[in-house]
Amino acid sequence: MKWRGRRGSSNIEDRRRSSAGRRAGGIGGIAGVLILLAGWYFGVDTSQFVDLGGGGSVEQSAEIAEADERAAQFVSVTLADTEEVWSDIFVRQLNRSYEPPVLVLFKGQTRSACGGASAATGPFYCPPEKKAYLDTAFFTTMERRFGAGGDFAAAYVVAHEVAHHVQNELGILGQVNEMRAQMSQADSNAMSVRVELQADCFSGIWARAAQQKFGSLERGDLGEALNAAKQIGDDAMQRNAGQVVRPHTFTHGSSAQRQRWFSRGWESGDLSACDTFSTNQL
């Protein structure tokens, strides 16, 4: 991906030099439950961060390595690309303006309106704040643990979280969350899969538009994104964690589904092609 020397985004909140540490007591309530579930998804024990009795946090200085700075610059450029692409798409396809999200960079741990964030939880989007959270060390985890290396694989991660913001701007996340609150766990999981696959499809739309607008993709970049989608599919994650594959517990979709919906967005470039909620063929 051609990104060096290009414009970065001003919508970056850099907390890496002062990320929230942990006091005895940890993170409580619903946030604690969410972190436990996120840890299960990524095959990481996050119980050390969770205490249903509540607790507080302290500020700790974080050492920023050269690789951290390079990753931060890359994320800033990728975020800027999403801002231009989605602004164009909103005008052309929806006849409305696009309000971009803020991306919070942290190292180690931090806090959000959606609960605590750590390297173990992975990147996520917090709808009430309209902010995406990312520990840039996750890119190293993707490459070393998941076998999903490459700069465009990392760009796919950023684009996916921004896609959740797009869903939020379109009112999709609010509607889905209301529905999930009234569903069984299995049905709620199935609805979550549809949300995530639509975000993958939106990511494909962004990739296509970024190539058309900036010519930023290089040979092999699309393959990196598809490989990343494959490696972080629910079935692949469960196998890699030594677990039996249990489709009813899927929350993000299988490897094949994630690749298929990213490809659909890439091939169509059309928001209407990403309707994962009215199809029986995921």
Beta carbons of 230 and 254 less than 8 angstroms apart: no
The β-bridge partners of 117 are 110
Read off the pLDDT of residues 150-175 as tens digits, 9 standing for 90 and up.
Answer: 889 899 999 999 999 999 999 999 99
Is pLDDT at 44 greater than 60 in this prediction? no
CB atoms within 10 A of CB 268: 15
Is pLDDT at 120 greater than 60 in this prediction? yes
More confident residue, 5 or 105: 105
Return the residue matching tokens 């199935």. Answer: 190
Q: Compute the average pLDDT of residues 204-208.
A: 97
Q: Looking at residue 66, what is its pLDDT?
A: 75
Q: Looking at residue 31, what is its pLDDT?
A: 42
Angle (CA) 106-109-113 rounded to 5° is 85
* Stated pTM of the model: 0.83
Read off the pLDDT of residues 66-99 as tens digits, 9 standing for 90 and up.
Answer: 777 888 898 999 999 999 999 999 999 999 999 9
Strands of the sheet containing 102-106, edge to edge, are 12-14, 102-106, 131-135, 124-126
- For residue 36, name the pLDDT band (cuts at 50, 70, 90): very low
- Annotated domain spans of the chain: 12-274
